Amino acid sequence: MAEKVLVTGGAGYIGSHCVVELLEAGYHPVVIDNFHNAIRGTHGLPESLQRVQKILGKEIEFEEVDLLNKDALSSLFDKHKFSAVLHFAGLKAVGESVEKPLLYYKVNLTGTIHLLEVMSSHGVKKLVFSSSATVYGDPKYLPIDESHPVGGCTNPYGKTKYFIEEMIKDQCKAEGDWCAILLRYFNPIGAHVSGRIGEDPQGIPNNLMPYVSQVAVGRREYLNVFGNDYNTPDGTGVRDYIHIVDLAKGHIAALKRLETSSGCKAYNLGTGVGYSVLQMVKAMEKASGKEVPYKIVARREGDIATCYADPALAAAELGWKAEYDLDRMCEDLWRWQSHNPTGFSTEH
C-alpha cells in the first residue's frame, strides 16, 4: 500500500508540482485546497490537478477543504490514515500582506494551528512545511546558511512563515515523537517540462519571472525594474532562482528524511547562485526569442539588494541538490507561458 500523504494547498503552483513528484515516487497524495489561489476546473477538481492527471495518467484524490474549518479538517483525518503532511496552504502575496496584515495572520497562523491540533489528535506526527527565505530578512552575510539569524522579516507574509516555523519547533519540543522539516525556498520559477502546469498568478504578478514571461508573450506591455542603484554588478536586485521541479524533488527528499530523523530541522532550497533582474530579462529573451521591454523605476520599500542560498546542508543531509540551470528554467517557463498565454483559462 502506498503511503498516504496529505498535501494542503496542493492545487497551487508549488503544491501541484509536488503532487507530480509524489505520484512519481510512489506516494498516494490526498490534496486539499480552498480555491483561494487556484482555478476551479470541472468535475470538482482544480484545473491544475486535472492537468496533473493528464500528465501522469493517474487519478488524484482531492477534497475542497479550508484549514480555517477545523471540523472539516478533522473529518478528513477521520477518513484517511496519513503517514505525513506537506503543508503549502496559505496566502502568499507580499504586497497584499502589508495592506491586510490581520487577514494574513488569521489565515496563515490560524490555519496552521488547526492543522497541528488535528494532526496531534489523530497521531500524525510527520510534517514538511513550505517556508521561505523571507524568514532571514535583510541578509547579515552571504551566502545565507541555516545558521543565519531568522525573524528580521520585512513584511507580514514573511512574519507568518517565521511564526509558523516557531510554532512547529515548539510542538516538536512539546511532543518528542514529532518530526518536522522546514524547507526555506529561495525563488521558484519555471514549469513542468510538459508545459501543462506552471505558475498562474491571478492579477498583476508579484514575482519577477511570471511578469517577465507575460511581457514576452504580449500580455503586458513592459516590465518595471524596481531600482538600478543597488550595490550589485548591474545595479539591479540579485536573487537565487530555483527550478520548480528541483524544488518539488526537495520535498520528496525531505519526506524520506522524516522516516529516519526526529525533532525539527530547517533546510535551504536554492541553487547557491544569484542572478540580477537584468540577467533574468536577458535569459528570458534568449529562451523566448522575444524582446522584453523594461523601465527603471524607484526602489520598492522592503526590497533588499542581494540574497542567495548556501544549499550545502540539504546536499549533505537530504541528499538533494538543484540540477536545472537558468537556461532550462527559462525554457520550461516559456513553454508553459507560450502554450497558456492567459494561464489555466486557456490551453492550445
The per-residue DSSP string of 187-204 comes to EEE---TTSSS----SSS
Across-strand partners of 29?
5
Which residues, other chains included, contact 25 with Cβ-Cβ below 8 Å and sequence gap of 6+?
Answer: 252
C-alpha cell at 234: 548591474
C-alpha cell at 274: 544569484
Give the pairing of strands 238-239 and 275-276: antiparallel
Number of H helices, E strands in the chain: 12, 14
Angle at 132 between CA 197 and CA 251, to 5 degrees: 55
Which residues, other chains included, contact 99 with Cβ-Cβ below 8 Å and sequence gap of 6+?
Answer: none
Place of cell 507560450: 338
Tell me phi and psi for residue 203, to 5 degrees.
Answer: 80, -155
Contact in structure between 29 and 17 (CB atoms under 8 Å)? no
Rounded-to-integer distance, Cα 100 and Cα 8, Å: 22
Contact in structure between 243 and 190 (CB atoms under 8 Å)? yes
Length in residues, the chain: 348
Q: Which residues are catalytic?
A: 157
Q: What is the CA radius of gyration of the chain?
A: 19
